[in-house]
Amino acid sequence: LSDSHKHKDKYKEKEHKHKDHRKDKEREKSKHGSRYGSSSEKKHRDKEKERMKHKDGSTDKHKEKKKEKMRSLDGKVKKEKENGFASPQHVKSEPEDNFYYSPKYEKSLKRQRDDDDETQFLFPFQDIKSKKTKNKKGEVLDGKKKAKKEPEEKWKWWEEERYTDGVKWKFLEHKGPVFAPPYEPLPSHVKFYYDGKPMKLSLEAEEVATFFAKMLDHEYTTKDIFRKNFFKDWRKEMTAEEKSKITDLTKCDFTEMSEYFKAQSEARKAMTKEDKQKIKEENERTLQQYGFCIMDNHRERIANFRIEPPGLFRGRGDHPKMGMLKRRIRPEDIIVNCSKDSKHPEPPPGTRWKEVRHDNKVTWLVSWTENIQGSIKYIMLNPSSRIKGEKDWQKYETARRLKKCVDHIRNQYREDWKSKEMRIRQRAVALYFIDKLALRAGNEKEEGETADTVGCCSLRVEHISLYPEKDGQEYVVEFDFLGKDSIRYYNKVPVEKRVFKNLQLFMENKELDDDLFDRLNTSILNKHLQELMDGLTAKVFRTYNASITLQQQLKELTNVEENIPAKILSYNRANRAVAILCNHQRAPPKTFEKSMQNLQSKIDAKRDQLADAKRELKSAKADAKVRKDEKSKKAVETKKKAVQRVEEQLMKLEVQATDREENKQIALGTSKLNYLDPRISVAWCKKWGIPVEKIYNKTQREKFAWAIDMADQDFEF
DNA sequence: AATTGTACTTAGGACATAATTG
DNA sequence: CAATTATGTCCTAAGTACAATT
């Protein structure tokens, strides 16, 4: 842990040196700008290693079958009828009654499911043992009976059949996105100054100026790239006149605007209860209206139904595009996706959509192209939705299948370390890292378009150091690189001799900024993995290792004797082990030191209190010994209880303190939400009688409803 | 095989809200 | 009850993966 502290700033400097060097080189290389720079170039270097290489013909062509086919082999639910929706595809009721649920349709679904007794909970793709399915059914049916009017009745999508043919839905209706509110011009007394003189800006230029003004307090408005990008884009919004006048950003004075916005946000905070309530209600109305869609007879929550407002782009880390103007999205930019036979969303009066399409092979409702990277953004459903939940469940099932063959795969890559083909050795070493260290795959990235970050396959020579011996350990590899979101990965790991020797070989005659694995990329790696197991990709290892670590840590750490808070601490520790494995970091909270001190003084106070209580107990005992009457005996009992109570409180505080200290820069949320099979946690809760609310908050319980309903205490990942 | 395009998951931080404390 | 602190939600960037195209 102590090694993996964030030293972002310190590190950046170091990175910088290499990077500039690298940039120059790359610029030279890829004049004809391809997406990833030129990857063929890197191949020429290892002529010496040509002796290692041999023929290239080992790609198993016969394995090229479509996944669907493979799946239907072991999947048992292949005889299914679509999704089981024999009924009309959409709910006819009008949206304003908020009643999209139709018990009638449910019944027919249930029936169908019941026919398919043995397999109802199986993924068609894989062979899960479904032992715990039976007992559930009774409850389910009971629930339905009394459901009648209740549209809020929880729909257990996980008890239904799934689409298998790439179809994501049969019916989809929604109201379209909510656009960002239009720009509100500044009141005339709020002025912008250029070169000390007030200057009235055009609406367009003013809006962009306010974006900058709002960020004035941020450190990055002082950064060169940020300022440069901003100024360039700002000038594009200016009138010819403004453009000729405003030529130097340092002469721009936004402070009045900035003050104005600060005052505004103060005013917002100081609003009366009633006004706040009004706003809340208004929000709730928009949520009800735009925050849901109907997908296949069910009303489902949309994740991000608001279009991203315009502003200045701030990427993470050292992003070359920071400060650029993220433009306002208009209806004309929007592609709407919905059923042909649904009530199509209306564009705002006087506008039109870019396109309305009916593609049920995708899950998104709305999309648009963003102007910074030119990538597509989507509006999709909430994690609690069927469409996300199924996928999530499936993800964990894939990881569980990996569990069954991981030994074989490990043996295989260990063998491959000895291969006479360089590309195979590289593949094997990379896979070893991905498996052992839970590294990300590491796709190629567009040079100069994004921050310089890497994953396993894109590691460069500069990112590792080899130590034949270090701190009493042999063959130590030191990793030091920026990963996703420019989070630093720093780790020293002893590796097996063969791995070490291979790394030395891979690094021979290379520059610092050359790829470590020059004969490997994610697509090669994944193709290989696909051959080892259906559905296997690099990221499955992260899921697998995270989940198996949680399960194993929980086993190890949970102490039968301990009370609930202590058990929860154990859970958090297990969770933390995973977060450390996956390198899920966070910036230490700004108030961390202070709040830690506060907690410590509370603990001290509690200690004093405990001492007092003990003293009182002692004297009460003495008293009782002398007097021997009922009253004094009772007093002893009360004192005893008091001591116990205070002891418990102290314990709780201490637990809290350790927990917090250990969590200083570790973020538990990401692994909990994305990597840990929720059934492990649910099973653990059930086993130890811990309310699941202690582990998952409301949102999380909604997302993991399937697991909470499905897993019993014997669940094994 | 390289390149480009698309869809979807994973990620940390800002901000809002709720809970706790003095 | 106000102030502080913890927790939860929102936001959207940044990854992975794979399909389509050249």
* Residue pair A620/A632 in contact by the 8 Å Cβ criterion: yes
pLDDT at position A34: 64
Give the CA angle between residues A621, A627, A630 to the nearest 5°. 80
Name all domains of chain A by residue range, CATH numbers in brackets: 172-179+276-382 (2.170.11.10), 192-270 (1.10.10.41), 388-461+483-488+497-536 (3.90.15.10), 547-710 (1.10.132.10)
pLDDT at position A44: 41
Q: Is the CB of A177 under 7 A from strand C?
A: no
pLDDT band at A140 (very low <50, low <70, confident <90, very high): very low
HSE toward the beta carbon, residue A29, CA cutoff 13 A: 18
The pLDDT tens digits of the residues spanning A49-60 come to 333 333 333 333
pLDDT at position A266: 83
Q: Which residue is nearest to nucleotide B4 (CA to C1')?
A: A35
Mean pLDDT throughout A206-226? 94
Query: In chain A, which residues from 532 to 561 place their CB closer than 7 Å to nucleic acid strand C?
Result: 535, 537-540
Taking the C-alpha atoms of residue A531 and residue A527, their distance in angstroms, rounded to an integer, is 7
Active site residue A675: yes
Taking the C-alpha atoms of residue A488 and residue A10, their distance in angstroms, rounded to an integer, is 11
pLDDT band at A300 (very low <50, low <70, confident <90, very high): very high
Q: Is the CB of A583 under 7 A from strand B?
A: yes
Mean pLDDT throughout A337-359? 96
Give the CA angle between residues A117, A120, A126 to the nearest 5°. 125
Mean pLDDT throughout A542-553? 97
The answer on pLDDT for A691 being more than 60 is: yes
Of A475-489, A578-592, A596-610, the poorest mean pLDDT is in A596-610
pLDDT at position A276: 81
Taking the C-alpha atoms of residue A482 and residue A489, their distance in angstroms, rounded to an integer, is 6
Could you write out the three-class secondary structure of A223-280?
Answer: CHHHHHHHHHHHHHHCCHHHHHHCCCHHHEECHHHHHHHHHHHHHHHCCCHHHHHHHH
Does residue A385 or residue A27 have the better pLDDT? A385
First to last CA, chain A: 27
The answer on pLDDT for A336 being more than 90 is: yes
Taking the C-alpha atoms of residue A135 and residue A141, their distance in angstroms, rounded to an integer, is 11
pLDDT at position A511: 92
* Residue pair A584/A670 in contact by the 8 Å Cβ criterion: yes
Q: State the DSSP H helix or E strand holding residue A377, giving kind and residue range, or none if neither.
A: strand A376-379
Q: Is the CB of A39 under 7 A from strand B?
A: yes
The answer on pLDDT for A97 being more than 70 is: no
Does residue A415 or residue A647 have the better pLDDT? A415
Residue A22 CA distance to nucleotide B7 C1' (Å): 32
The pLDDT tens digits of the residues spanning A98-124 come to 333 333 233 333 323 333 333 333 343
pLDDT band at A152 (very low <50, low <70, confident <90, very high): low
pLDDT at position A37: 60
Of A35-44, A74-83, A699-708, the poorest mean pLDDT is in A74-83
Query: In chain A, which residues from 65 to 94 place their CB closer than 7 Å to nucleic acid strand C?
Result: 67
> Which tokens hold the place of A482?
């920026």
pLDDT at position A682: 97
Residue A603 CA distance to nucleotide B21 C1' (Å): 15
Calculate helix-pair angle for A678-688, A538-557, nearest 10 degrees: 10
> Which tokens hold the place of A211?
């974006």
pLDDT at position A151: 54
Mean pLDDT throughout A580-603? 83
DSSP string, A200-215: PPPHHHHHHHHHHHHT
Q: Which of A105, A290, A675, A696 is catalytic?
A: A675
Q: Is the CB of A391 under 7 A from strand B?
A: yes
* Residue pair A518/A460 in contact by the 8 Å Cβ criterion: no
Query: In chain A, which residues from 424 to 443 place their CB closer than 7 Å to nucleic acid strand C?
Result: 440-443
pLDDT band at A278 (very low <50, low <70, confident <90, very high): confident
Q: Is the CB of A367 under 7 A from strand B?
A: yes
The pLDDT tens digits of the residues spanning A67-84 come to 333 333 233 333 333 332
Residue A249 CA distance to nucleotide B15 C1' (Å): 29
Q: Find all residues with CB under 8 Å of A547, minimum gap 6, and list them.
A: A396, A399, A675, A676, A677, A680, A717
Query: In chain A, which residues from 51 to 70 place their CB closer than 7 Å to nucleic acid strand C?
Result: 67
**Shortest CA–C1' contact from A39: which nucleotide?**
B2
Q: Is the CB of A178 under 7 A from strand C?
A: no
Taking the C-alpha atoms of residue A615 and residue A621, their distance in angstroms, rounded to an integer, is 10
* Residue pair A171/A294 in contact by the 8 Å Cβ criterion: yes
Phi, psi of A519 (to 5 degrees): -110, 25
The answer on pLDDT for A175 being more than 80 is: yes
The answer on pLDDT for A510 being more than 90 is: yes
The answer on pLDDT for A295 being more than 80 is: yes
The pLDDT tens digits of the residues spanning A622-672 come to 888 888 888 888 888 888 888 887 887 787 777 777 777 878 889 999 999
Average pLDDT of chain A to the nearest whole number: 81
Calculate helix-pair angle for A422-437, A538-557, nearest 10 degrees: 30
The pLDDT tens digits of the residues spanning A417-467 come to 999 999 999 999 999 999 999 999 999 998 889 999 999 999 999 999 999
